[in-house]
Amino acid sequence: MQTAYAKEELRSMLAPLRGRRLVLVPTMGALHEGHATLLRQARQLAGEDGAVVASIFLNPVQFDNAGDLATYPKTPVQDLEICHACGVDVVFMPSPDTMYCSDRSITMEETHLSTVLCGASRPGHFAGVCLVVSKLFNLVQPTDAVFGKKDYQQLAILRRMVRDMDIPIQIHGAEIVRDADGLALSSRNVRLTPEHRASAPSIRRLLLAARESYAAGQPADDICAVVKRELEMISGVRCDYVELVDAETLHELTSPQRLALLAVAAWFGDVRLIDNIELSRS
């Protein structure tokens, strides 16, 4: 495994790999089993003849909260160990000064999918995501890229970006990885208090109950109201949103025949957790 810290180093390492299947996994570091699953999926996609590139970059441009950026965990030694164990060929670990010019003036913005859910409460977040991912796509020039479904809105937006900008990359979505009690793995989980860590798996339990209610024909508004009410009964919890939407457009579900998504964002103390579940009536 090779590690690049500058763009020139990355280009040099990737030059012998051109012409092969090249799979990119962008991360912000603080890797856990969820990230490892993405890396292993990338390794499988690349096959014996292909290569896997992981980027580890805490992207300041996508943070709308300076405090969240400052407290985001950083575990570079562990991150490299996980990459090595998962068969990554090249790791790109740039600094903000390496990724961004001091006088940068070009932005990337999606104007439909990013106006709802997390985008409604985190202005500029997805513009920052699109900017850094587009830069990584240009630097690595992968054939494929793997992203997790826990960040479902991000995945949908990046698929739209690739489609609208005619970027020749296939986007793959990986299923959510969970702890034994159902809590979706997240780098932010380490910041939960013991009390909130004990109550956080309730999100998953409510999502599973909602899936049964939806399959039984219960109205979307009623399902969302129940999930929100149950969450806010937990001490120290406040909801950002509970929305049942079209899984592709992320806006109002216009037909029960289409795949739906129930998405939740809630604050457990000062830690914001997100989760989701796909719903179907067929």
Here the tokens at position 102 are 């001091």
Residue where the block lists tokens 């719903």:
279
Question: Number of C-alpha atoms within 13 angstroms, CB side, residue 158?
Answer: 29
Phi, psi for 46 (deg, rounded to 5): -70, -35
What residues act catalytically?
35
CA distances for 91 relative to 30, 55, 81, angstroms = 14, 6, 11
Rg over CA atoms, the chain: 19
Question: At 132, which amino acid appears?
Answer: V
Q: Quick one: which H or E segment has residue 10?
A: helix 7-14
CA distances for 132 relative to 23, 63, 136, 264, angstroms = 17, 12, 6, 25
Q: Where are the beta strands (DSSP E) in 62-124?
A: 90-92
Here the tokens at position 247 are 């899984």
The residue count for the chain: 282
The long-range contacts involving 117-122, CB below 8 angstroms and separated by at least 24 positions, are 117/153, 117/241, 117/243, 117/245, 117/250, 117/263, 117/265, 118/153, 118/240, 118/265, 118/274, 119/153, 120/241, 121/240, 121/241, 121/265, 122/64
